[in-house]
Amino acid sequence: GDSVIQMQGQVTLSENDFLFINCTYSTTGYPTLFWYVQYSGEGPQLLLQVTTANNKGSSRGFEATYDKGTTSFHLQKTSVQEIDSAVYYCAMRSGGNYKPTFGKGTSLVVHP
């Protein structure tokens, strides 16, 4: 079945550091890839969608890149801020599969 692997459970950075979170996926279908962000006390919300047409997506200073060859998609931000502290989930939807597949989440803590 479909699967998404997100290895980094927690990342701790200082403000203005570079952020990189990687996910790999497995599916027999045609994937649509997403990154969600969850702030404390809230539900997850869409951060960005990676379009496999141009292999990229971007939002709020975050950028995601998709690599079909390695079936991976990663999230990056050049300079994180304290307000970026949150849990980040990679996710995949595969055509014909009603169930979205989420990674286990990466808790980002940014110190001022």
Partner 1 sequence: EAAVTQSPRSKVAVTGGKVTLSCHQTNNHDYMYWYRQDTGHGLRLIHYSYVADSTEKGDIPDGYKASRPSQENFSLILELASLSQTAVYFCASSDRDDTEVFFGKGTRLTVV
For residue 24, give Cα distances in angstroms to 6, 15, 81, 82, 104. Answer: 7, 27, 26, 27, 12
Nearer residue to partner 1 within complex by CB, 83 or 98: 98
Give the residue from 98, 102, 88 showing the smallest Cα distance to 20. Answer: 88
Tell the smallest beta-carbon distance from residue 93 to partner 1 (Å): 5
DSSP conformation letters of 6-34: E--SEEEEETT--EEEEEEEE-SS-EEEE
* Rounded distance between C-alpha atoms, residue 58 and residue 100, angstroms: 21
Residue of the chain from 40, 42, 53, 112 that contacts partner 1 (CB under 8 A) = 42
Taking alpha carbons only, the member of 29, 47, 30 closest to residue 90 is 47
Residues 90-109 that bind partner 1 (CB under 8 A): 91, 93-100, 102-105
Residues 22-41 touching partner 1, rule: CB under 8 A, are: 32, 34, 36, 41
Question: Is there binding between residue 89 and partner 1 (CB under 8 A)?
Answer: yes
In this complex, which beta carbon is closest to partner 1, that of residue 18 or of residue 39?
A: 39
49 lies in the binding site for partner 1 (CB under 8 A): yes
Q: Which residues bind partner 1 (CB under 8 A)?
A: 6, 9, 32, 34, 36, 41-46, 49, 89, 91, 93-100, 102-105
